[in-house]
Structure 1
């Protein structure tokens, strides 16, 4: 239960971070647009600013790809971990079931031997009484 709660909290946090990042990008783009409208500098300055905007966009894209890659990696690791834990659980249950089977077989053998010993005891008593 705690694992699911922690996972949900983690997903909410990631979603909140992505939402904030998207809002920040939108605000930055709005500010850039306003700056460009209010800025009446030289062509060289505008080109420099445009290159910086391209770098910002490329960096934002890189970060977005890294986040997606990280999420898919963690999802795969999570699935692998879950499969491994389930496999270990299954193996342990099978081991214990085999032990239960062996104990039942031993118990059955013991019961059979106890019955035989009891029969021998009765026979010996009968022989002893008849003598």
Structure 2
């Protein structure tokens, strides 16, 4: 019998907890409504000052946004100029290097031609020295 009474009281307690949660939720809603009313009253009381402060902040936002926009545009043009300068300089360096290597190739070919002439003269001289009497 006691167990039946305990079960009945447990069953009753569960709905009580649920009711408390509902009360808490409805109290929370009421508290939110009160807070909103207080805020709207505070806004009404300080509305001119608040509007002045808000407009001041909005002006700051506008100036800052303008500054950021100008900096971005400046950065774009600066990087474009730097990019163009870099490209021109890189092309000039490439051209200068190609000219140097072309000059080196030209010098190597001249040196090779000179070496071929010297080798031919030395070969003729060696032949003459090895066979001094063959031409007479």
TM-score bracket, shorter-length normalisation: 0.5 to 0.7
Aligned residue in 1 for 2:116: 111
Provide the secondary structure at the position in 2 that maps to 1:129. coil
Q: Which has the larger radius of gyration?
A: 2
Structure 1 position 48, deviation (Å): 2.3
- Counterpart of 2:85 in 1: which secondary structure? helix
1:89 to 94, 99, 108: 94
Instruction: Specify the alignment match of 1:57 in structure 2.
Output: 62
Counting only pairs closer than 5 Å after superposition, residues 1-131 of structure 1 correspond to structure 2 as 42-124=47-129, 127-129=132-134
Tell me by how many angstroms 1:130 deviates. Answer: 5.4
CA distance in structure 2 between the partners assigned to 1:126 and 1:49 by the alignment = 112
Cα offsets for 1:63-91 (capped at 9, x unmatched): 11111111221222222222222222211
Render the CA deviation track for 1:32-67: whole Å, top value 9, x for unaligned. Answer: xxxxxxx75523322221222111111101111111
Provide structure 2 residue ranges, at least 5 long, that are not aligned to the other structure. Answer: 1-42
Distance 1:93 1:109 in 2: 24
1:27 aligns to what?
none
After TM superposition, give the deviation of residue 110 of structure 1 in Å. Answer: 1.1
* Residue-pair matches, total: 93
Q: TM-score, normalised by structure 2?
A: 0.57
Aligned-partner Cα distance in 2 for 1:68–1:51: 26
Provide the alpha-carbon RMSD of the alignment: 2.2
**In structure 2, distance between residues paired with 1:90 and 1:49:** 60
Whole-angstrom CA distance in 1 between matches of 2:59 and 2:126: 99
Stretches of structure 1 lacking an aligned partner (at least 5 in a row): 1-38
